[in-house]
C-alpha cells in the first residue's frame, strides 16, 4: 500500500513532562486510521504533529515523502480541531467562503463546494444562518464542512463527534466512509469504542505510547476478546 503519512521515532516533551515517547508508524492512502485513547494519552499532540503545526522534540513526520512542516503539503489536508474555529458573527456560507479563499479557490468553485459540503453535513437549510445561532452539534458539523471545503486528500479529525447526538454521529461516519471510498485518507482521534470499531486500522495510545496497532478484528483476535474495549483494557493493564 502507498503511504501518505510517516511518523518516525516521534517524542515530545514540554519541560520535564513527557507527552509522547518513541511513536513510529505509517498511515496508508485511502484508509480510516484511528487513534484511540483516554484524555491525556497524547492524541491531540500527535495530531498537531501530523498537521505540521507542532514540531516534535525528537523524530520526524513526513507527508507524501516530504518532511513537515511544509507549506505545500499543509495545503493537501483538512483539519478539524476539538475546538470549533469558526467566526460566530458570520453565516455558515461566509465562513466557508473565507476558508475556501485561503486555499485560493475560485469564487465559482467555492460556491459549488459550499453547497456540496453543506449537503454532506446536513446543514443546507442553515446556510445563511449566523454561526452564533447554531447549536453545539451544528457547529461541529460546520467545522467538518470547513475541513472538507478544498477536497483534501487527507482529513485529520480530532474528536469530530463530541457533543453530537447518536443519529448525527452515525451520519457523519457514513460520510467518512463515502470519502474513503473516493480515496480520501482519514485520521480520526476518539475515545468512543464503537467509533474505533469503524476504523480500518487502530493505534491504541496510553500515556504517550502506542500500546497496540492493527485492524480492530486482528486486535480482538490476538487478545481473544470480542470488543475493542476489552482489547484496550488488556493492553492497558486492566485485564490480564
Q: What is the pLDDT of residue 71?
A: 78
Concatenate the DSSP letters of all residues of 58-96 into one string: EEEEEETTEESS-HHHHTTEEEE-SS----TTSBHHHHH
- Type and span of the H or E element at 202: strand 201-206
Nine-digit cell string for 113: 463546494
Nine-digit cell string for 237: 493493564
With cut-offs at 50, 70 and 90, classify the pLDDT of residue 81.
confident
List the alpha helices (DSSP H) in the chain. 43-50, 71-74, 92-102, 107-120, 136-148, 166-181, 193-196, 216-223, 228-236
Examine the pLDDT at 238 and tell me if it is beyond 80: no
Mean pLDDT of 207-217: 94
Examine the pLDDT at 240 and tell me if it is beyond 70: no
Mean pLDDT of 16-42: 93
Examine the pLDDT at 193 and tell me if it is beyond 70: yes
With cut-offs at 50, 70 and 90, classify the pLDDT of residue 239.
very low
Examine the pLDDT at 133 and tell me if it is beyond 60: yes
Q: What is the pLDDT of residue 232?
A: 86
Mean pLDDT of 27-43: 92
Query: Do the bridges between strand 32-36 and strand 185-190 make them parallel or antiparallel, or are there none, so unpaired?
Result: parallel
Query: How is the beta sheet containing 32-36 ordered, strand by strand?
Result: 77-80, 154-158, 185-190, 32-36, 201-206, 209-214
Nine-digit cell string for 66: 516530504
Classify residue 39 by burial, with Cβ atoms within 10 Å: 0-12, 13-18, 19+: exposed
Nine-digit cell string for 133: 445561532
**Please, are residues 11 and 210 in contact by the beta-carbon 8 Å criterion?**
no
Examine the pLDDT at 46 and tell me if it is beyond 90: yes
Q: Which tops the pLDDT comparison, 74 or 238?
A: 74
Q: What is the pLDDT of residue 167?
A: 82
Residues of the chain with CATH 3.40.50.300: 1-76+153-240
The CATH topology of domain 1-76+153-240 is Rossmann fold (3.40.50)
Q: What is the pLDDT of residues 140-186, one digit of tens each?
A: 889 999 999 999 999 999 988 877 778 878 888 888 998 999 999 99
Average pLDDT, the chain: 91
Q: What is the pLDDT of residue 50?
A: 93
**Please, are residues 42 and 20 in contact by the beta-carbon 8 Å criterion?**
yes
Q: Rounded distance, CA 141 to CA 174, Å?
A: 13
Amino acid at each position: 500500500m502507498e503511504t501518505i503519512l510517516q511518523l518516525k521515532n516521534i517524542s515530545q516533551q514540554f519541560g520535564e513532562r513527557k507527552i509522547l515517547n518513541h511513536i513510529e508508524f505509517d498511515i496508508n492512502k485511502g484508509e480510516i486510521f484511528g487513534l484511540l485513547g483516554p484524555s491525556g494519552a497524547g492524541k491531540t499532540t500527535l495530531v498537531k504533529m501530523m498537521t505540521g503545526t507542532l514540531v516534535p522534540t525528537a523524530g520526524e513526520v513526513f507527508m507524501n515523502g516530504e518532511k513537515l512542516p511544509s507549506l505545500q503539503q499543509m495545503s493537501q489536508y483538512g483539519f478539524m480541531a476539538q475546538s470549533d474555529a469558526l467566526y460566530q458573527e458570520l453565516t455558515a456560507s461566509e465562513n466557508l467562503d473565507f476558508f475556501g479563499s485561503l486555499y485560493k479557490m475560485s469564487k465559482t468553485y467555492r460556491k459549488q463546494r459550499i453547497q456540496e459540503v453543506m449537503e454532506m453535513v446536513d446543514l443546507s437549510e442553515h446556510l445563511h444562518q449566523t454561526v452564533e445561532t447554531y447549536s453545539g452539534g451544528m457547529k461541529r458539523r460546520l467545522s467538518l464542512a470547513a475541513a472538507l471545503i478544498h477536497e483534501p486528500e487527507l482529513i485529520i479529525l480530532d474528536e469530530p463527534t463530541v457533543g453530537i447526538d447518536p443519529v448525527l454521529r452515525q451520519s457523519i461516519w457514513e460520510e467518512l466512509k463515502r470519502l474513503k471510498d473516493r480515496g480520501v485518507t482519514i485520521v480520526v482521534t476518539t475515545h468512543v469504542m464503537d467509533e474505533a470499531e469503524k476504523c480500518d486500522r487502530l493505534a491504541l495510545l496510553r500515556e504517550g505510547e502506542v500500546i497496540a496497532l492493527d485492524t480492530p478484528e486482528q486486535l480482538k483476535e490476538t487478545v481473544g476478546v470480542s470488543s475493542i474495549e476489552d482489547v484496550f483494557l488488556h493492553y492497558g493493564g486492566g485485564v490480564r
